[in-house]
Amino acid sequence: MNAKNLNIKKVNDYMGFSRLSGLLNFSIEGNTNVKDKNSIIKQLNGKLKLNTKNMSINDLNLKKLKSSILEIKNVEDLLELNKKVFNGNTSIKNQEMFVEIKNGNLKLPKTDILLDDNKITATGLYEIAPNNVKINLNYNDENNKLLSLFNVNFKGNIKNIETSLDYNQAKTDQLIGDMLEKKMKKVIKDKLDNKFNDIIENLLE
């Protein structure tokens, strides 16, 4: 089974889901028990191949979240992140993904995807029968430890998905503390260097 250029908006209108927009190609390789019409979906197993085309995630602004995280100067700044992350959209780069189908449920194993030119590690589960979804997005940035401590979560029935932002508080507080300590040491060093330079200049006059 396969489909090309599936308009996500049409799926949204049918299922009451509004978090995605764009086009999608997909193909399914699997098997099920076709003799029992009531359990065709529940007994479906296989693999789903997805190709995204000009897709975006609505009401999620990962660009703003990243810039806000990188501008964090104290623990209080963490409280402001929720106000920024869920306003705007995030572009899903055209890419290929594979989803496992097990007993009628769709499972996205730990997968690196590109969202707004950022490498994001995603995991997910979609229970088809009750229409429940659970997705976790985590920055995968080896050059910035602070970014990797934050997670965006989607959870609930697809008609009423709850979104949340969480982070490892202990590690984040420690990392911010270390960053502030380094900044203070640099400020003190710069002041001492300036003072030393002033002394040298006075001696040379």
- What residues have CB less than 8 Å from 196, skipping those under 6 apart? none
Position 19 pLDDT exceeds 60? yes
Return the closest-CA partner of residue 163 out of 69, 84, 76, 49. Answer: 84
Q: Taking a C-beta distance cutoff of 8 angstroms, is the pair 80, 94 a contact? A: no
Residue 110 — pLDDT band, cuts 50, 70, 90? very high
Task: Report the alpha-carbon distance of residue 204 to residue 20 in Å, rounded.
Answer: 69
Position 50 pLDDT exceeds 90? yes
Residue 137's pLDDT is what? 95
List the single range of 4-8, 31-35, 107-111, 164-168 with lowest mean pLDDT. 31-35
Task: Report the alpha-carbon distance of residue 168 to residue 173 in Å, rounded.
Answer: 8
Select the more confidently predicted residue: 185 or 100. Answer: 100
Burial class (CB in 10 A: 0-12, 13-18, 19+), 8: buried
Return the closest-CA partner of residue 116 out of 88, 77, 97. Answer: 88
| Residue 66 to residues 23, 62, 99, 113, Cα–Cα distance (Å) | 26, 6, 27, 16
160-205 confidence digits (pLDDT tens): 899 998 876 666 566 666 655 555 445 445 554 554 455 445 555 5
Task: Report the alpha-carbon distance of residue 49 to residue 6 in Å, rounded.
Answer: 13
| Residue 63 to residues 32, 73, 89, 138, 174, Cα–Cα distance (Å) | 41, 18, 9, 13, 24
